[in-house]
Structure 1
């Protein structure tokens, strides 16, 4: 289970709507308590996906597929991850998850999402259709490296 405040979920919704039609992304900072995660802060980050990243992928899309861009991919710069990790360690927090949006696509993990996922993180996905919020769902990898849905609980 992962716990959010209403304001934190609203912040993620707004970030997704502002960046539409591109994917937004950010970090979920908080605490772990066994299998439960409590979000203390939502940290918006830049989607640093570039065409150079696409060019270096082993499985580039075929000519009949949508080209890879910020409209269907995201990445958080390694430097950003490192800086936030250092900062939250000093505050006795952890990076407990990553969120991103799926413009005009369901809030279910893509194959690419699974390929880049870390088993210790939650993955929150926001679905937008024509820029309007549809749903938000959270996922985490199981021991077989398959995504399983995680319950989102809103707390005061």
Structure 2
């Protein structure tokens, strides 16, 4: 099982970004380092939905390449994506497999009017999601 290290400060930041978007979905990128199944998040960033269609977020290839270049200059790499789902489950559906590249963490926050109700992380392995250990 892989481990995703996310500090309380970054959890709070993610909660703020998600709360500001409520009652809509929010999504973004996780930046950090990945070494032998241990993923350390150093920065979270929100991205806009490319077409603003509810439930249809994609990190477009052009945006991903721009983000990746900028991140490498900072000595970090994209280690995953995050998504805040208002009043919904924090468990990824089979239909979400196309959203996540293998090797990336998929952090899902279940958001309510008062903040994050639950936060869990997943990894795509052999075309199915497996939960990651989320550590502060």
So what's the TM-score if we normalise by structure 2?
Answer: 0.89
TM-superposition CA deviations, 1:50-82 (whole Å, max 9, x none): 4xxxxxxxxxxxxxxxxxx32x33223433221
1:83 aligns with 2:85: no
Describe the SS at the equivalent of 2:6: strand
Inter-partner Cα distance in structure 2 for 1:153 and 1:27: 18
Which segments of 5 or more consecutive residues in structure 2 lack a partner in the other structure? Answer: none
Greater displacement, 41-50 / 9-18: 41-50
Inter-partner Cα distance in structure 1 for 2:25 and 2:59: 11
Partner residue in 1 for 2:88: 105
1:9-24 mapped onto 2 (5 Å cutoff): 9-24=11-26
Offset, 1:130: 4.6
Inter-partner Cα distance in structure 2 for 1:125 and 1:8: 14
Which segments of 5 or more consecutive residues in structure 1 lack a partner in the other structure? Answer: 51-68
Preserved contact between residue 20 and residue 131 of structure 1 (Cα < 8 Å): no
Partner residue in 1 for 2:40: 38
Preserved contact between residue 19 and residue 113 of structure 2 (Cα < 8 Å): no
Cα separation, partners in 2 of 1:116 and 1:109, compared to 1, 3 Å: same
Preserved contact between residue 122 and residue 129 of structure 2 (Cα < 8 Å): yes
1:150 aligns with 2:132: yes
Partner residue in 2 for 1:60: none
Inter-partner Cα distance in structure 2 for 1:151 and 1:141: 14
Partner residue in 1 for 2:50: 48
Aligned length: 134
Partner residue in 2 for 1:124: 107
Inter-partner Cα distance in structure 1 for 2:72 and 2:32: 10
Inter-partner Cα distance in structure 2 for 1:87 and 1:146: 30
